[in-house]
Amino acid sequence: MSERKVERTASQSEALTDEEAERQIRRKSRRSFLLGAVTVAVAGSGWWKLRSLAPGSKEAQDLGDVAWPFRRALETNEKLSRAYFRDGRPAPTFPRKEAKEPRLNAQVGLPEEFDPAAWKLSLLGLKDMSAATATDEDPTPAVRLPIEAIKAFPKADMTVELKCIEGWADVVNWGGTPFAEFLKRYPPPTKSGKPVDLDNRLDDLPQYVALETPDGEYYVGLDIASAVHPQTLLCYEMNGEDLPLNHGAPLRLAIPVKYGIKNLQRIGTIRYTDERPKDYWAERGYDWYAGH
Ligand SMILES: Nc1nc2c(c(=O)[nH]1)N[C@H]1C(S)=C(S)[C@@H](COP(=O)(O)O)O[C@H]1N2
Ligand SMILES: [Mo]
């Protein structure tokens, strides 16, 4: 996304107030819920299959067919379903053979001097921060995970569009661990103090996830429902190969229910929070929510 584009749009839109943002989210939620209900009615209950995938299993390769917990959703009361489907409709998937390298479109927070071997993912806002450490470069205590830890989590892949807000879209196959699987292993605190219940109690979790590049230059905020959407992946593979450095290695976010701007490359930090996180492109006049 170019700076020129920013200048054009910055004058059109003042920074969003929280109230405006919440209104937008509510409006979209209603629409999403209706669309979601229609989609799940035809799609069946693939969610449950997805949740029990073994790492590297053949089924785990099939996230492209991701479907929805239709029956269960209708049994649950509407309020909970609404929370669950807040942004719950699946993004369309494509045949694997249509996948290609997406346009190179990111510069912010991706300096060339970067040592992937020294990289670790920093986690903040976890329920259990007892293993947190500080480093010379980063004095804030965080739980730090090497890429091998993430590769050991259940794996899925999906073939979806990467949609840039500039108007282009490329079909890409992404492989990695569903964010929901990651969250279950490194959970945030719940308000009730009870274990995380992604099926029924998203309201018991922190409302947001904040992600940043290691240098903090690019950052996005996600609502928790979009973060645990089954098509939201922490990716280390692109089109069946190791994710290249110029597309965000060692780890990037693929979140096809959002525009490209939210698909943060080179994740350095993941933090759970109840305060709406700052967001690079929202600060420059784009919709904070950035769903489509
Ligand atoms: N760190 C970082 N991630 C980023 C961006 C960026 O500037 N820096 N740009 C976003 C935008 S606007 C798009 S469209 C996609 C492009 O991903 P690609 O370069 O792999 O096609 O990355 C997203 N993630
Ligand atoms: Mo973009």
pLDDT value at 192 more than 90:
yes
pLDDT in tens, 213-265: 999 999 999 999 999 999 999 999 999 999 999 999 999 999 999 999 999 99
Mean pLDDT of the chain: 80
Q: What is the pLDDT of residue 120?
A: 98
Task: Measure the CA–CA gap between 137 and 114, rounded to whole angstroms.
Answer: 13
The lowest-confidence range among 31-35, 62-66, 246-250, 253-257 is: 62-66
pLDDT band at 292 (very low <50, low <70, confident <90, very high): confident
Of all residues in the chain, the percent with pLDDT exceeding 70 is 70
| Ligand 1, residues at Cβ distance < 6 Å | 1, 102-110, 162, 164, 213, 218, 247, 260-261, 263-266
Q: What is the pLDDT of residue 46?
A: 39
pLDDT in tens, 128-179: 999 999 999 899 999 999 999 999 999 999 999 999 999 999 999 999 999 9
Look at the block and give the residue holding tokens 């929805």: 68
253 pairs with which residues across the strands?
Answer: 234
Q: Which two structure tokens, joined as six digits, stand for 131? A: 């293993």
Q: What is the pLDDT of residue 241?
A: 98
Q: Pick the more confident residue, 89 or 8.
A: 89
Ligand at minimal distance from the CA of 105 is: 1
The residue whose CA is least distant from atom 12 of ligand 1 is 261
pLDDT band at 43 (very low <50, low <70, confident <90, very high): very low
Q: What is the pLDDT of residue 89?
A: 75
Taking Cα atoms as reference points, which of 165, 160, 27, 18 lies closest to residue 86? 27
Q: Which of 2, 105, 163 to mutate to test the pocket of ligand 1 (most atoms within 8 A of CB)?
A: 105
Buried residues in 69-99 as b, exposed as e (16+ CB within 10 A): bbebbeebeeebbbbbbbbbbbbebeebeeb
